[in-house]
Structure 1
Amino acid sequence: MSYKSLLVHLDTSQAAERRLEFAFRLAQRFDAHLNALLTLTRPETGSFYVMAGAAEFIAEHERIARERRESLERAFKATAARTGVTGDWRVSTEYPNDVAPDAARFADLVIAGQFDPNDPESFVANQFLEHLLLEAGRPVLVVPYVGTFASIGTHVVLAWDQSREAARAAADAIPFLAAAKKTTIITLGEQGGEPLGSRLPGTDIGAVIARHGATVDIDERPSVPAAAVGDALLSRAADLGADLIVMGCYGHARWRELVLGGASRTVLKSMTMPVLMSH
């Protein structure tokens, strides 16, 4: 099993070009085809028409978008030529929460960026990552906005709680887990569906992963309150020197918004290494 079709989502943020370079490294690693999707959004003029300087703001936004679009396209074509990676470049002005999940369904792995609160250009659409994670039906590898991550997947941490989402994430991450020098399965909190004390939590999924050639350790952590699971996972992964976290993404629709579970929200906000999430 391998990833043969990758999709990288791009925006006009400062981190976008590093994300593109990251995607090309993965495409080389897995000998995969790489599609790049750049989504462009335009401010709703109706929200600004009474504000002084609105026209100048919109013009500046469009200038930045045009320059970064051209820069990213040049980088994509130049890197494809240099590396021999096959791929397609696409720019869309459609609503990102519609077009990105649709495009993601034709990829084995989707690469997206963490929101940077200090860079307005990293805002793609309202709840963009939530829509992508919950609607794509594909694993999403979220890349932090800080860092270059020249290597990934040398030491993988798999968050395990026996849920459907965690099982999906473990299966989706097999190409990383099988190639890693080490995979640490971290168990936090109660393990549903397994009698208490019957065996070390994580043993069964560890055996499944090991059959793919993975080297597996199990790290049973003390139970923590649900609200602290995300922080505990990030802290332990950092202590272990991991360079990739694999976890299930929990979420549901509630009235007009999508709601992620507490651990998923925490990790997406505070991550310092790439995180592969599956729903």
Structure 2
Amino acid sequence: MALKDILVHVDNTPPCKRRLEFALAVARQHDAHLTVLFASNISNLQGFGSRSESVLKAAEEAQARFKALAADSGVTVEWRQALIPGSDQALIQEVRTHGRHADLVILGQQDPEARSDVIPPDLPERLMLELGRPVLVVPYAWRFSGRVGRALVAWNGGREAARAINDALPLLQKADWVQVLAVNPAERDREHGPIPCADICLHLARHGVKSESSYLVAHDIDVGNMLLSRAADEAADLLVMGAYGRARFTELVLGGATRHLLRHMTLPVLMSH
């Protein structure tokens, strides 16, 4: 298994530069092709010519930034642009269509203090539940160290966690340090077995991933906070976890840890559903 096709969704916000740098670094590390997609909703701008022009200008500026960063990256890249004259769901469907032809889709966390009227605020949540590909979400407030060297893997023995580990294998194989962490494993003893994380670490070893197992017991702290705390303590560059939730009519119902991580992430998080 290898990462050979990566898609990154870009916009013209300041955090996007770090997201693009991260995507280029991952593509370079895996000798992968990188597709850069500027997808924006213009349905809310109809009747406001100057605002429509501002979206086109933002696309031009984002493309110029992309070309400058990619020029000496050593990565094969392509630029795609999609201005969607429809609903938020139409834009999500557009990104989803492009993303299903990639091994990994990289998105940006939404900044609650700088909401955009042309990017759906629930884009990461929708895609991770609907895409069928792993989604790697990059925080808006974060500094990229240059590579993914230290990875923390959240393991509870569930289906989504198993998918996430399998999807993250190429990244874990190139990491310098991998820790597999179970939180309150006694609550799911059937999935964990007698020694929490032992079997999944053995599985990773057979794929060339040297990992260490660990578990935490703390029933008075939510899982999301515990994962972020351990990631900070271990100076992790990446968190791998299953995405729990479902789309019910127009409402997203997310698991507590998934929802917490999307709101409060302090490092890139790879999620699979």
TM-score by length of 1: 0.88
Q: Distance in 2 between matches of 1:176 and 1:109?
A: 11
Q: Which residue pairs with 1:50 in the alignment?
A: none
* Runs of at least 5 residues in structure 2 that lack an aligned partner in the other structure: 85-89
Query: Does the CA-based 8 Å contact 2:153-2:180 persist in structure 1?
Result: yes
Q: Which residue pairs with 1:87 in the alignment?
A: 77
Q: Which residue pairs with 2:169 in the alignment?
A: 174
Residue 153 (structure 1) shift: 2.7
Query: Does the CA-based 8 Å contact 1:6-1:33 persist in structure 2?
Result: yes
Q: Which amino acid aligns with 2:264?
A: S
Q: Distance in 1 between matches of 2:140 and 2:49?
A: 26
Secondary structure of the 1:156 match is strand
CA 1:14–1:64: 2 relative to 1, 3 Å: farther
Q: Percent identity?
A: 42
Q: Distance in 2 between matches of 1:135 and 1:65?
A: 27
Q: Distance in 2 between matches of 1:75 and 1:101?
A: 24
Query: Does the CA-based 8 Å contact 1:11-1:121 persist in structure 2?
Result: no
Bigger shift: 91-100 or 245-254? Answer: 91-100
Q: Which amino acid aligns with 1:62?
A: S
Report Cα offsets for 1:17-51 as digits up to 9, x if no partner: 221222111111111101111111225368xxxxx
Bigger shift: 70-79 or 25-34? Answer: 70-79
Q: Which residue pairs with 1:159 in the alignment?
A: 154
TM-score by length of 2: 0.90
Asked if residue 15 in structure 1 is aligned to residue 5 in structure 2, the reply is: no
Q: Which amino acid aligns with 2:132?
A: G
Q: Which amino acid aligns with 1:245?
A: L
Q: Distance in 2 between matches of 1:122 and 1:205?
A: 42
Of 65, 68, 71, which residue of structure 1 is paired with 2:58? 68
Q: Which amino acid aligns with 2:162?
A: A
CA 1:131–1:194: 2 relative to 1, 3 Å: closer
Asked if residue 191 in structure 1 is aligned to residue 188 in structure 2, the reply is: yes
Secondary structure of the 2:71 match is helix
Residue 165 (structure 1) shift: 0.3
Residue 126 (structure 1) shift: 4.8
Asked if residue 207 in structure 1 is aligned to residue 202 in structure 2, the reply is: yes
Asked if residue 30 in structure 1 is aligned to residue 25 in structure 2, the reply is: no
Matches within 5 A, 1:213-228: 213-224=208-219, 228=222
Residue 239 (structure 1) shift: 1.2
RMSD (Å) for aligned C-alpha atoms: 2.1
Of 261, 266, 273, which residue of structure 1 is paired with 2:267? 273
Of 262, 269, 272, which residue of structure 1 is paired with 2:256? 262
Aligned residues: 266
Bigger shift: 118-127 or 88-97? Answer: 118-127
Report Cα offsets for 1:139-184 as digits up to 9, x if no partner: 1110011223133431110000000000000011111111211111
Q: Which amino acid aligns with 2:120?
A: A
Residue 129 (structure 1) shift: 1.3
Residue 193 (structure 1) shift: 2.7
CA 1:121–1:255: 2 relative to 1, 3 Å: closer
